[in-house]
């Protein structure tokens, strides 16, 4: 009998020994840091649903290894970026994740750069859109959008189409200032005049003072950037209420203002708003139709938005890079494998710039129009293969290292 | 030029009215009953979701949903009052804060679970949108409506609390519970009704506010600071105080954001600090 017990013990030890390294080798852990709660909770919903959709469509094994997710809530982190940093540390040290992904907001991504540099783990930015984030660490790769690419394109288009004056309104934080700088730069370069500008706080229950300023400038055009979440609808309504509609003033904006919910809130007053952006669910392509259909099934009939498509493409980059490295998640090897990736996204053709690790994509110019009684963004022009203009300038001025990080 | 200033003053006043409808219920529960009810915004959120759901899914008109928003928030508060709040009336401020902030977080999670994290767009009827133009002045229709609603609420509340038997009972119970009980008043019941009234007003305020500020699960927390400012600066227990303070703060906020947008959003807080240093009990405190 005693022999039997010893035998069992020996056997189970052997089984454990043989299993545990195999298991460690057999999984790839991805840590997702997103806003699942707070003012920007909806970004988390849209991004996470897209991640789940991608896994559902493409399976959860790559190179014989199972993909496993650990989700962390960065909360209302616009105000507390140190939360994202702490979460990244926890993910790497305690949960031993191989890759980090997500980043709903710019401050979260900035705060995490140091952690990546020390741990040499790769991170895929699925939303945070401030241009210079990718210059802070050679382990960042981005699948969303460097904002200046879209806002610069919009300004250039405006000046080419006879708009001479603009007043700009942006949210007072990284991406807002980025958008303002890009718009001002490209608009002036095209011969336009900026007649004034205003920045409003991230939390702002009433926009009437800012809207009144814009109105009093009597500018021919108004440019607007607001982050997703609660603000676009509130600002849209304030504009309509003060009689600023595309009928009286040209309204140029980023894509947030013309997502589904703000359009529903604004109603017909939104008809004619022009936006420069990388994605709308109405984009016409077979790829996108499939994506929209799959997404709607997963999220109770809601259409995907820019946050969803960026997260979906982020998963694509993770899967393709891991295929190339045969499951090796080492930061250096993984990032090398992402460089130059080119694919057909639901938003159109995209690629990862090998020099900056940032996405290169088509920027569409869209006008809000009524299609079958429903307000939608209708694409009417596009600029292809748009790179981040900020990093193009930085590179020309010799401020970038060969790995795309900023020289100290 | 004059038209522009009039329009600014009006926007500020109307913004104040928005703050007022959101916080008048709090000046009942926190102000009169002395209960640190940080979950006030959550009751407001109930009203908001009731209005949105009835308008969108059942097709009710906006006006018809308002009483229901009031009643739904009041009903929810009676349940919470019976189960939780009444045990805490004599607890310390810290205990009350912890309980109610916990309720706020639970309400956020419940709303996100039931309604999703998305913004809830509402489309008001045509006659509540746009602007009316009077000579060279023009005013937002919804803001006029908000102002009217705030005036009606103030009138009804002041009349109800100061000139009715029930109002006298409420004041008696709040001022001296033991004496009121000794005189045969059912303090327990009066408190329950008063609390329901405050929460119902929150629900109504939430329903009225969503057109301007939008609605998502974070509503209960997002505007809490503004509600507390109005009640603290106005002086506890004063409906008229809350009204005047809200109007004053709204105008100051809008003017400062218009003229000095670089620091505009700080000025409201500076003014608050200044007022509280000058009159710690609030501008219109009775005691």
* Alpha-carbon span A291 to A303, nearest angstrom: 10
Task: Give the per-residue pLDDT at B122.
Answer: 82
Task: Give the per-residue pLDDT at A23.
Answer: 44
**Which residues of chain B have a Cβ shorter than 8 Å from any chain A Cβ?**
4, 7-8, 11-12, 14-15, 18, 108-109, 112, 116-123, 129-131, 138, 140, 142-143, 211-214, 216-218, 222-223, 226, 253-255, 257-258, 261-262, 264-265
Is the pLDDT reported for residue A151 higher than 90?
yes
Is the pLDDT reported for residue A77 higher than 50?
no
Positions of chain B with pLDDT under 70 = 1, 237, 286-287
Residue the block writes with tokens 């997710």: A69
Work out the average pLDDT over A252-275: 89
3-state secondary structure string across B46-98: HHHHHHHHHHHHHCCCHHHHHHHHHHHHHHHHHHHHHHCHHHHCCCCHHHHHH
Is the pLDDT reported for residue A367 higher than 80?
yes
* Pairing verdict, β A342-345 and A348-352: antiparallel
Task: Give the per-residue pLDDT at A408.
Answer: 77
Contacts of A213 in chain B (CB under 8 A): 258, 261
* Alpha-carbon span A258 to A276, nearest angstrom: 10
Residue the block writes with tokens 């301007």: B212
Is the pLDDT reported for residue A13 higher than 90?
no
Closest residue by Cα to residue B121 from A369, A270, A74 = A270
Is the pLDDT reported for residue A22 higher than 50?
no
Task: Give the per-residue pLDDT at B103.
Answer: 94
Percent of chain A with pLDDT over 90: 69
pTM: 0.84
For residue A296, what pLDDT band results from cuts at 50, 70 and 90? very high
* Alpha-carbon span B246 to A376, nearest angstrom: 38
Work out the average pLDDT over A374-396: 93
What is the Cα A90 distance to its own chain's centre? Answer: 23
Contacts with B107 (C-beta within 8 Å, 6 or more apart), sequence order:
B39, B42, B45, B46, B217, B220
For residue A25, what pLDDT band results from cuts at 50, 70 and 90? low
* Alpha-carbon span A284 to A280, nearest angstrom: 9
Work out the average pLDDT over A19-45: 78
Is the pLDDT reported for residue A5 higher than 80?
no
Contacts of B137 in chain A (CB under 8 A): none
* Alpha-carbon span A281 to A305, nearest angstrom: 6
The DSSP-derived string for B35-46 is: ---TTHHHHHHH
* Alpha-carbon span A305 to A299, nearest angstrom: 12
Task: Give the per-residue pLDDT at A232.
Answer: 86
Question: What does residue B84 show for φ and ψ, rounded to 5 degrees?
Answer: -120, -55
CB B120 within 8 A of CB A229: no
CB B9 within 8 A of CB B251: yes
Work out the average pLDDT over A86-103: 94
ipTM: 0.81
Contacts with B35 (C-beta within 8 Å, 6 or more apart), sequence order:
B29, B85, B88, B89, B96, B195
User: For an interface test with B, which of A78, A204, A207, A233 has the most B Cβ atoms less than 10 Å from its Cβ?
Assistant: A233
Confirm or reject contact between A44 and chain B (CB < 8 A): yes
Is the pLDDT reported for residue A14 higher than 70?
no
Q: Would you give the end-to-end CA distance of chain B in angstroms? A: 43
Kindly report the length of chain A.
Answer: 408
Under 8 Å CB pairs connecting chains A and B tally to: 119
Q: Which two tokens stand for residue B120?
A: 């809830």
Q: Do residue B254 and residue A208 have CB atoms under 8 angstroms apart? A: yes
Least confident of A33-37, A189-193, B5-9, B236-240: B236-240
Is the pLDDT reported for residue A78 higher than 60?
no
CB A169 within 8 A of CB A195: no
Confirm or reject contact between A177 and chain B (CB < 8 A): no
Confirm or reject contact between A197 and chain B (CB < 8 A): no
Give the residue, A100 or B262, on which the prediction is more confident.
A100
């Amino acid at each position: 009998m005693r022999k039997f017990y010893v035998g069992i013990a020996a056997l189970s030890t052997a089984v454990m020994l043989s299993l545990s390294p195999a298991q460690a080798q057999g999984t790839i852990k991805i840590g997702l840091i997103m806003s699942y709660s707070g003012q920007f909770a909806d970004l988390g919903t849209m991004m996470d649903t897209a991640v789940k959709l991608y896994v559902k469509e493409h399976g959860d094994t790559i190179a014989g290894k199972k993909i496993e997710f650990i989700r962390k809530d960065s909360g209302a982190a616009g105000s507390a970026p140190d939360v994202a940093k702490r979460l990244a540390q926890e993910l790497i040290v305690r949960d031993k994740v191989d890759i980090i992904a997500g980043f709903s907001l710019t401050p979260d991504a900035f705060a995490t750069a140091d952690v990546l540099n020390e741990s040499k783990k790769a991170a895929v930015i699925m939303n945070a859109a401030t241009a210079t984030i990718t210059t802070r660490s050679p382990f960042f790769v981005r699948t969303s959008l460097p904002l200046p690419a879209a806002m610069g394109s919009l300004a250039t288009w405006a000046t080419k189409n006879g708009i001479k004056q603009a007043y700009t309104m942006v949210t007072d934080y990284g991406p807002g200032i980025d958008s303002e700088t890009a718009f001002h730069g490209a608009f002036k370069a095209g011969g336009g005049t900026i007649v004034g500008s205003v920045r409003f706080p991230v939390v702002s229950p009433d926009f009437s003072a800012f809207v009144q300023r814009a109105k009093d400038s009597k500018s021919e055009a108004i440019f607007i950037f607001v982050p997703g979440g609660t603000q676009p609808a509130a600002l849209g309504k304030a504009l309509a209420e003060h009689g600023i509609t595309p009928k009286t003033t040209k309204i140029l904006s980023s894509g947030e203002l013309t997502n589904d919910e703000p359009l529903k809130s604004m109603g017909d007053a939104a008809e004619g708003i022009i936006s420069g952006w990388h994605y709308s669910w109405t984009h016409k392509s077979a790829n996108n139709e499939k994506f929209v259909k799959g997404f709607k099934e997963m999220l109770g009939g809601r259409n995907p938005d820019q946050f969803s498509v960026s997260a979906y493409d982020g998963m694509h980059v993770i899967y393709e890079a891991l295929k190339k490295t045969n499951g090796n998640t080492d930061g250096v090897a993984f990032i090398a494998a992402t460089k130059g990736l080119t694919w057909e996204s639901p938003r159109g053709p995209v690629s990862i710039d090998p020099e900056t690790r940032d996405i290169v994509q088509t920027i569409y110019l869209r006008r809000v129009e009524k299609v079958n009684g429903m307000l939608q963004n209708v694409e009417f022009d596009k600029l292809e293969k748009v790179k981040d203009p900020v990093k193009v300038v930085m590179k020309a001025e010799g401020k970038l290292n060969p790995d795309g990080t900023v020289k100290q | 030029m004059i038209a522009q200033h009039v329009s600014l003053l009006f926007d500020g006043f109307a913004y104040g009215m928005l703050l007022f409808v959101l916080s008048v219920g709090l000046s009942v529960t926190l102000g009169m009953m002395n209960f640190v009810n940080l979950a006030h915004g959550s009751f407001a959120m109930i009203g908001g979701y009731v209005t949105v759901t009835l308008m969108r899914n059942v097709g009710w008109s906006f006006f018809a949903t308002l009483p229901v928003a009031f009643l739904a928030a009041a009903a929810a508060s009676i349940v919470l009052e019976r189960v939780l709040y009444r045990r805490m009336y004599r607890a310390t401020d810290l205990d009350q804060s912890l309980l109610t902030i916990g309720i706020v977080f639970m309400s956020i999670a419940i709303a996100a679970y039931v309604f999703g994290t998305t913004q809830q767009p509402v489309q008001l009827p045509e006659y509540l949108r746009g602007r009316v133009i009077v000579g060279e002045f023009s005013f937002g229709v919804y803001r006029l409506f908000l102002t009217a609603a705030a005036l009606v609420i103030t009138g009804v509340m002041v009349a109800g609390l100061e000139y009715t038997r029930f109002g006298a009972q409420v004041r008696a119970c709040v001022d001296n519970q033991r004496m009121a009980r000794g005189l045969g008043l059912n303090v327990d019941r009066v408190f329950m009704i008063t609390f329901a009234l405050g929460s119902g007003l929150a629900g109504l305020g939430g329903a009225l506010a969503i057109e301007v500020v939008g609605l998502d699960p974070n509503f209960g927390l997002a505007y809490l600071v503004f509600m507390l400012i109005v009640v603290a600066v106005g002086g506890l227990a004063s409906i008229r105080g809350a009204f005047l303070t809200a109007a004053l703060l709204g105008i100051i906020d809008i003017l400062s954001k218009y003229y000095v947008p670089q620091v505009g959003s700080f000025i409201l807080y500076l003014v608050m600090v200044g007022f509280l240093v000058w009159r710690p009990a609030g501008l219109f405190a009775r005691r």
